Each structure stands twice: as structure tokens, then as C-alpha cells.
């Protein structure tokens, strides 16, 4: 059995995406939904034995209708999330296979992750117990007041922008979440909880190409990034549902637009 479980939180509201008709994770990106692009680097790995996608309860019907074939083919477990991101992760932790030694959490809105980045952060987590992808801050940082006037230029020395995946020993992440109410602050990522235990998280330098989609402009940028990245064997392979009869038997076949 693989050593890693992967949690993909996908229950966000997408309030800044700018499309009232759909959430960003369901938007099409180079022929596939954003969340599918985000989870693809994990599903065929020998060291990953479980993948869990956490969705908003109100998206359940849409998710079943559009993505049931993909979920079945990739052997993904889909559960309902909570009000906040940390609530969704906590629910996913309840169903993680206890035989998994490590847990990776990856944003459903980060569709440009590469296999090499996963390799690097998984290796760092096995060595240090906790690791994340992050990139050094390159721009000048300004602090402003309530009226949007600058009050200070903040040194960017030793500052990094956190990305995902963030990967932890299972026991460490479970302990961190058991302690999350004691933190008494808004939780923005999982390393924040682990740091509160006094356990440092190793930084593995990521890439600005591992972007997180927030607005519709980010979706266009992600499309350009995917075009620039080397094609993997999975991209070049035949369609996973080419043998429809073998896959579906007597079940109703999905329409093409429902697959991805």
C-alpha cells in the first residue's frame, strides 16, 4: 500500500472568481475541470493509496452528474465539507485510511502542479515530518493604513509565499487539528496549525507556475502555463474512457461533456 493519502479541499465559495454560473473548480481548463487538473498528479502514483475530494454539500448533485465517471475511474472518495476550509480538512481526516503514514493537502484551485514538485515535497515530508511548497517573495511589500496610504516598507528577507501541496506525518496533522480551537485565530493553511505545535515545516522551493486560481484572469493564465509545461505520459495517453462498454457494461453511458 502507498504511504500517502491526498486531500483536495474543493468546498470553497469562489466569491472572487467573477462567474455567477459556476465555481472556479468546475471551470474548464484545457479540456478538463480545474479540480481534475489539480488531482491528476497524484492519482497514478504508487506511493498514493487514497485520494479524498471535499466538496460543498450544495454541489453534490452537480458533482455526481458531471464527474461520476472520473471519480469512479480514479477511485476518488468524495465527502461533504464544512463551513471553513479547516472544517473540510477535519472531516477528511476522519476518513483517511489509518495505514497511510503521510497526508498531503492540495488546493483544488491549483491545476498546474508538476510530478517533480510532488516528488520533492513528498521526500521532504518523509525526512522532516512536515513540508510545503513555497516561493520567495520577489516584490516590494508595503503596509498601508485604513485609508490605503503607505505606512511602512516591509523587508522581504526570509519571506515566502506558501503554496500546496503541504504534506505531513499523519499523527502530526491529526494532533495539529485536535489543537486547532486552542489556536484562537483564523486558520489559513495547515502548516499554521503544525507550527502552533512547535514543529517547523520544511520549505521546498516551488514555482510561480504553481498558481492558485482566484479570478477568471487566473484561469486564462493557467491555460498558458499548461501549454508551456512539458506534456506527461498521461496527457499523451488515449482517453481513459475509450473502452466504454468495458467500463460501463449495461449502465447508461455518460455524455462527453459529463466526463471532464
Can you tell me the mean pLDDT for 196-220? 93
Q: Quick one: pLDDT band at residue 248, thresholds 50, 70, 90?
A: very low
Can you tell me the mean pLDDT for 216-238? 76
Would the pLDDT of 14 be above 60? no
Give the pLDDT score at 205: 96
pTM of the predicted model as reported, rounded to 2 decimal places: 0.86
CA-to-CA distance for 209 and 197, rounded, in angstroms? 31
Long-range contacts of 220-229 (CB under 8 A, 24+ apart): 222/29, 222/34, 222/111, 222/112, 223/29, 223/30, 225/112, 226/29, 226/30, 226/37, 226/111, 226/112, 227/30, 229/112, 229/114
Q: Quick one: pLDDT band at residue 229, thresholds 50, 70, 90?
A: confident
Give the pLDDT score at 187: 82
Integer-rounded Cα Rg, in Å, for the chain is 19
Give the pLDDT score at 236: 40
Percent of the chain with pLDDT over 90: 68
Domain limits, the chain: 4-259
Can you tell me the mean pLDDT for 233-259? 39
The set of cell numbers assigned to 147 is 485609508
pLDDT in tens, 84-101: 899 999 999 999 999 999
* Closest by CA position to 6, among listed 145, 139, 125, 154: 125
pLDDT in tens, 175-185: 999 998 887 76
Question: Is the model more confident about 166 or about 245?
Answer: 166
pLDDT in tens, 118-139: 999 999 999 999 999 999 999 9
Would the pLDDT of 107 be above 60? yes
**Per-residue DSSP letters for the chain?**
--SEEEEEEE----TTS--TTS-GGGSEETTEEHHHHHHHHHHT-TTEEEEEEEE-GGGHHHHHHHHHHHHHHHT-EEEE--SSHHHHHHHHHTTS-TT--EEEE--TT-----HHHHHHHHHHHHHHSEEEEEEE--S-EEEE-TTS-EEEEEP-TT-EEEEEEEEEEHHHHHHHHHTHHHH-S---SHHHHHHHTT---EEEE--TTS----SHHHHHHHHHHHHHSPPPHHHHSPPTTS-HHHHHTTSPPPPHHHH-
Backbone φ and ψ for 91, nearest 5 degrees, come out as: -65, -40
Give the pLDDT score at 1: 52
CA-to-CA distance for 164 and 106, rounded, in angstroms? 5
Give the pLDDT score at 54: 96
pLDDT, averaged across the chain: 86
For residue 187, what are the CA distances in angstroms to 8, 32, 159, 215? 17, 30, 19, 22
Is CATH 3.40.1080.10 correct for 4-259? Answer: no
Amino acid at each position: 500500500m502507498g504511504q500517502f493519502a491526498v486531500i483536495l479541499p474543493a468546498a470553497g465559495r469562489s466569491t472572487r472568481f467573477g462567474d455567477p454560473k459556476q465555481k472556479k473548480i468546475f471551470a474548464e481548463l484545457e479540456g478538463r475541470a480545474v479540480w481534475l487538473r489539480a488531482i491528476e498528479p497524484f492519482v497514478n502514483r504508487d506511493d498514493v493509496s487514497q485520494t479524498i475530494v471535499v466538496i460543498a454539500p450544495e454541489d453534490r448533485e452537480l458533482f455526481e452528474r458531471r464527474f461520476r465517471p472520473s471519480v469512479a475511474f480514479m477511485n476518488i472518495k468524495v465527502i461533504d465539507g464544512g463551513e471553513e476550509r479547516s472544517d473540510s480538512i477535519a472531516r477528511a481526516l476522519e476518513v483517511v485510511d489509518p495505514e497511510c503514514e503521510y497526508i498531503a493537502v492540495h488546493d483544488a484551485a491549483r491545476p498546474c502542479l508538476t510530478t517533480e514538485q510532488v516528488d520533492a515535497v513528498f521526500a521532504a515530508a518523509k525526512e522532516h515530518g512536515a513540508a510545503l511548497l513555497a516561493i520567495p517573495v520577489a516584490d516590494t511589500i508595503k503596509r498601508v493604513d485604513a485609508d490605503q496610504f503607505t505606512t511602512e516598507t516591509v523587508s522581504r528577507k526570509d519571506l515566502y509565499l506558501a503554496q500546496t501541496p503541504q504534506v505531513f506525518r499523519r499523527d502530526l496533522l491529526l494532533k495539529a487539528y485536535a489543537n486547532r480551537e486552542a489556536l484562537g485565530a483564523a486558520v489559513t493553511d495547515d502548516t499554521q496549525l503544525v507550527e502552533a505545535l512547535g514543529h517547523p515545516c520544511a520549505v521546498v522551493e516551488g514555482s510561480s507556475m504553481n498558481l492558485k486560481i482566484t479570478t477568471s484572469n487566473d484561469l486564462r493564465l493557467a491555460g498558458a502555463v499548461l501549454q508551456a509545461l512539458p506534456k506527461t505520459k498521461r496527457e499523451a495517453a488515449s482517453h481513459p474512457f475509450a473502452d466504454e462498454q468495458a467500463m460501463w457494461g449495461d449502465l447508461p453511458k455518460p455524455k462527453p461533456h459529463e466526463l471532464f
